[in-house]
Amino acid sequence: MAQINVTNLTFAYEGSFDDIFENVSFSVDTNWKLGFIGRNGKGKTTFLNLLLGKYSYQGSISTNVVFDYFPYKVSGDDLEKTAEELMEKWKPSVESWRVMCELPMLSIDAELLYRPFKTLSFGERTKVMLAVLFSGENDFLLIDEPTNHLDMEAREIVKKYLTSKKGFILVSHDRDLLDACIDHVLVLNRASIEVQTGNFSSWWENKVRADTFSKNENEKHLKELGKLKAAADRSSRWADKSEATKIGYDPIKETDRSISTRSYIGAKTKKMQARVKSYEKRMDREIAEKEGLLKDIEEPIDLKVMPMEHYKKRLIDCKGLSLRYNDGGTPVIEELSFELLQGQRLFLSGENGSGKSTLIKVILDKAGYGDASNIILGGEISVAPNLVVSYITQDTSHLKGSLKEHAAQKGLDYSLLLSILRQLDMSRVQFEKNIEDFSEGQKKKVLIAGSLLTSAHLYIWDEPLNYIDVFSRMQIEKLIEEYQPTMLIVEHDVRFREKLATKEIVL
């Protein structure tokens, strides 16, 4: 059992306007299963890279453990090699028999190690890398979002596997995974960093309770400040009025006033001014106690979307549909029948490669938004005429240039785009950067903001929550619950699906 001690850590990227970390101090135990939680762009992956020694920083990070990081880098040339050939590059001095021992726990066969890496699915690649990662003895493991692009079955396998392990930091926005796998949390709050015992749900419960207490305390301080300010203003006016009577008086109206009255008035004024000073000191104390109460409170702004209403109730009608690519391969989908009515939220589920994205491609083509000429259709599929679709793709690699250029290209209102991104907690500093320099979560937010700005009859979102932070996921959940747009969604987040799905199709 060892400690990782972080003391007065300060770090900013070269040329950046803002610090990622500023005088941060905390300690964690290498025996923990530590969940790492925070908004997109707060520095989770950056901190893992600091542990790996990739950047220079101020302050100190002291430990005697060796770190290893998931996912391993895979170059274009690496894709032609087998995992068995890549293992030594990923984890020097790795022993093959140890990797073999890990594979059954991940429900994969050893033969995958001897196939070209490019032939493996996302789920198989993730499992092979995790097997290599955990094949060491004393490494402390840094696991960065292992379930992105994984289907539900693969997520369950990875979840059970990580539950049986310890000695790692897990960066994930999947609430179900965090609850199952971790026993401590490391949280990047808005203005502080905290370490707590427990999983995501216990931390969130504590946070809601702490935020409620802070808000109540803040209200109490505001009321007290109001009372003190009113009393100070009243005493100040009395003092000024009293002081004004020292000089000049009407002997006819003030027959009882003598020369000694002037000193009496002076003493009275001094007493009132002392009372004002006392009120001001108490106000300063109240302000000091109030300061910082709301610094870490997460108050997501309610998002809006303007769905359009179609004159037809049934937007998609599918009967006995089969789909296969024209390369002569086997059908991707066979005998699929379903309908999508206005107001429904249809979730497509199934293993990677089961045809979810292919079905979306065909629907977009039928609505006039894509090209599915390389897909051969059997059966029937019809889409309501003049259907307006807003589509979010899995892929973010096409996002380049400035936000202003992106808005112009997509026909979006630039000011409104920035407004929604601010509501999704993207800092204004990011707006000056090119999109290719954003984190993956921030790129996804650009796509989501663009979709929310588009009035449509149907919103098709293909894995929209990959890399999206927990707080933004909750914002999006609330948005969909409130506005109830018609949606076709591919998303493997269990909590998200359970909360929002009105209909589900398993391919």
Task: Specify the 3-state DSSP secondary structure of 303.
Answer: coil
Task: Specify the 3-state DSSP secondary structure of 154.
Answer: helix
Which uninterrupted H or E stretch holds 359? helix 356-366
Q: Which of 173, 199, 225 is the last residue of a domain?
A: 199
Which pLDDT does position 430 carry in this prediction?
A: 85
Residue 297 lies in a domain: no
Residue 300 lies in a domain: no
Measure Cα distances from 230 to 93, 237, 244, 281, 283 in Å: 73, 11, 21, 14, 11
- Cite the DSSP H helix spans in 291-355: none
CATH label of the domain that carries residue 169 = 3.40.50.300
How far is residue 461's CA from residue 493's CA, in Å, rounded to a whole number? Answer: 13
Residue 56 lies in a domain: yes
195 and 229 inside one domain: no
What is the residue range of 223's domain? 207-290
Residue 307 lies in a domain: no
Which pLDDT does position 425 carry in this prediction?
A: 84
How far is residue 92's CA from residue 72's CA, in Å, rounded to a whole number? Answer: 12
Which pLDDT does position 370 carry in this prediction?
A: 81
246 and 325 inside one domain: no
Residue 296 lies in a domain: no
264 and 122 inside one domain: no
63 and 181 inside one domain: yes
333 and 357 inside one domain: yes
Which pLDDT does position 291 carry in this prediction?
A: 58
Measure Cα distances from 458 to 336, 346, 436 in Å: 20, 11, 28
Which pLDDT does position 302 carry in this prediction?
A: 75
Which pLDDT does position 314 carry in this prediction?
A: 94
Residue 487 lies in a domain: yes
What letter does residue 342 receive in the DSSP assignment?
A: T
Q: Which of 199, 232, 250 is the last residue of a domain?
A: 199
Along the 507 residues of the chain, how does pLDDT read in single tens digits? Answer: 678 998 998 888 776 667 788 888 889 998 999 999 888 878 888 888 999 889 888 899 998 888 999 899 988 888 899 999 999 899 988 888 989 998 899 888 888 899 898 888 778 888 899 999 998 877 889 999 888 778 788 888 888 999 988 889 999 888 899 999 999 999 888 677 888 899 999 988 888 888 787 777 777 767 766 776 776 676 666 666 665 555 555 555 555 555 555 566 666 666 666 766 776 676 666 566 555 554 555 666 778 888 999 999 999 999 998 888 887 678 888 898 999 999 999 999 887 777 888 899 999 999 988 888 888 888 899 999 999 999 999 888 888 999 999 999 999 999 999 999 998 888 888 888 899 988 888 999 999 999 999 999 999 999 888 888 888 888 999 999 999 999 999 988 888 998 999 999 888
Q: Taking a C-beta distance cutoff of 8 angstroms, is the pair 141, 182 a contact?
A: no
161 and 226 inside one domain: no
235 and 108 inside one domain: no
Number of domains into which the chain is organized: 3
186 and 120 inside one domain: yes
b/e for 39-56, b at 16 or more Cβ within 10 A? bbbbbbbbbbbbbeeeee
Q: Taking a C-beta distance cutoff of 8 angstroms, is the pair 136, 64 a contact?
A: no
Which pLDDT does position 265 carry in this prediction?
A: 60
Which pLDDT does position 207 carry in this prediction?
A: 84
Question: Residue 458 pairs with which residues in a beta bridge?
Answer: 389
169 and 259 inside one domain: no
Query: Residue 381 has which token pair?
Result: 């599929």
Measure Cα distances from 6 to 24, 29, 51, 172 in Å: 7, 12, 10, 21
Entry pTM: 0.73
451 and 468 inside one domain: yes
Q: Which of 154, 178, 199 is the last residue of a domain?
A: 199
Which pLDDT does position 256 carry in this prediction?
A: 55
Residue 365 lies in a domain: yes
388 and 357 inside one domain: yes
**Amino acid at site 180:** A
Residue 304 lies in a domain: no
170 and 244 inside one domain: no
Query: Residue 57 has which token pair?
Result: 């920083």
How far is residue 490's CA from residue 460's CA, in Å, rounded to a whole number? Answer: 8
Which pLDDT does position 242 carry in this prediction?
A: 61
